[in-house]
Amino acid sequence: MSAHESPRAVIAALLANLGIAVTKVVAFLLTSSASMLAEAIHSFADCGNQGLLLLGGKRARRPPTAEHPFGFGRERYVYAFIVSIVLFSVGGLFALYEAYHKFDEVHSGHPNDLLTSRWWWVPILVLVLAMGMESFSLRTAVAESNRTRDGVGWVEFVRRAKSPELPVVLLEDVAALLGLGFALLGVGMTLLTGSGYWDVLGTAAIGLLLVTVAIILGTETKSLLLGEAAALADQRDIEAAIAGTEDGVEGLGIIHLRTLQLGPGSVLVACKIAVDSESRADEIARAIDAAEHRIRAAVPDASYVFIEPDIRRA
């Protein structure tokens, strides 16, 4: 992760999900609840996802090489995209399969193990405790996000964030809390009504939720992998920095400006500027140098700045 970021939200989510996953497995073994199994797989998938995010952050810090002259910042996007695939397949599709399998059992008249188990109260306790731990993880992610989102709405923050970790953790935690609610509804209604179809419904809802979140994550991360421009605010700051350069060169102006997000905390800036034909070479060089300094002062993430002058003839 970049210097101004902290992996605290990811680590908090990892620890919370690890504890939650173990308790859910115990609850499933005691009751054979399909909702509990789906939730256990969901939590283990989340643990793997947070591990991938931490690994991606570590590998992205490698220095540039001759083969990768702009560094490895985008590797964080690669691992975030893998997270969406894991969430879709291991979490969502497995839950949907388990719902189908459990539906077949209930439809064929197989008695629901949850109703016959003397440990029927364990899933309720586990789900309530899990909600508490997930709330702590979500609270940490929200606190970390508030340090960087600059007052924008949550939907816009998830869509426009250039660092994938916080949006991933936020969506995972929200999905986890909703999934726990679905599981609690399925288990609770099964115990109240004696019908195993409620357990099936809770499991299916968890699967659909995870598939939806995975698609959102995959779509947003794919855009970053393909190459996005810098944030609009950064682009405006760069334009203002170039326009504000005053070093004896008349007519300095932007012909075109291109930016590329190389990774979280790293932006490439390529710009062609128009200069007056009567300007001397040393004046142009000083103007470009001053523009580069202003750009880096206005946008510290501008790691690579390339400015090309274009002499305008009278």
CA distance 64 to 99: 47
Which range has highest mean pLDDT (9-23, 148-162, 212-226)?
212-226
Q: What is the pLDDT of residue 8?
A: 77
- pLDDT, mean of residues 158-174: 85
Give the model's confidence band at 5: pLDDT under 50 very low, under 70 low, under 90 confident, else very high.
Answer: low
- Give pLDDT, residue 3: 41
CA 12 to chain centre: 15
Summary mean pLDDT of the chain: 83
CA distance 145 to 151: 10
Structure tokens, 284: 């142009």
CA distance 83 to 277: 53
Query: Are the C-beta atoms of residues 257 and 269 closer than 8 Å to each other?
Result: yes
Residue type, 167: P
Q: Residue 8, SS3? A: helix
Is it the case that residue 294 has pLDDT exceeding 80? yes
Query: Residue 286: how many CA atoms within 13 Å on its side-chain side?
Result: 10
Helix axes 34-60, 75-86, angle to 10 degrees: 170
- 15: nearest Cα among 126, 214, 173: 173
Query: Helices (H), strands (E): how many in the chain?
Result: 11, 3
Confidence of residue 304 (pLDDT cuts 50, 70, 90): very high
Q: Is the pLDDT of residue 276 over 70?
A: yes
Give per-residue pLDDT as tens, 189-204.
888 888 878 888 988 9
State mean pLDDT over 58-82. Answer: 90
Q: Which helix (H) or strand (E) holds 268?
A: strand 266-276
What would the pLDDT profile of 104-128 be if each residue is shown by its tens digit?
A: 877 787 666 666 667 777 878 888 8
Strand duo 253-263 + 302-312: pairing: unpaired
Say if residue 234's pLDDT is above 60.
Answer: yes
Distances (CA, A) of 170 to 243, 247, 290: 38, 46, 40
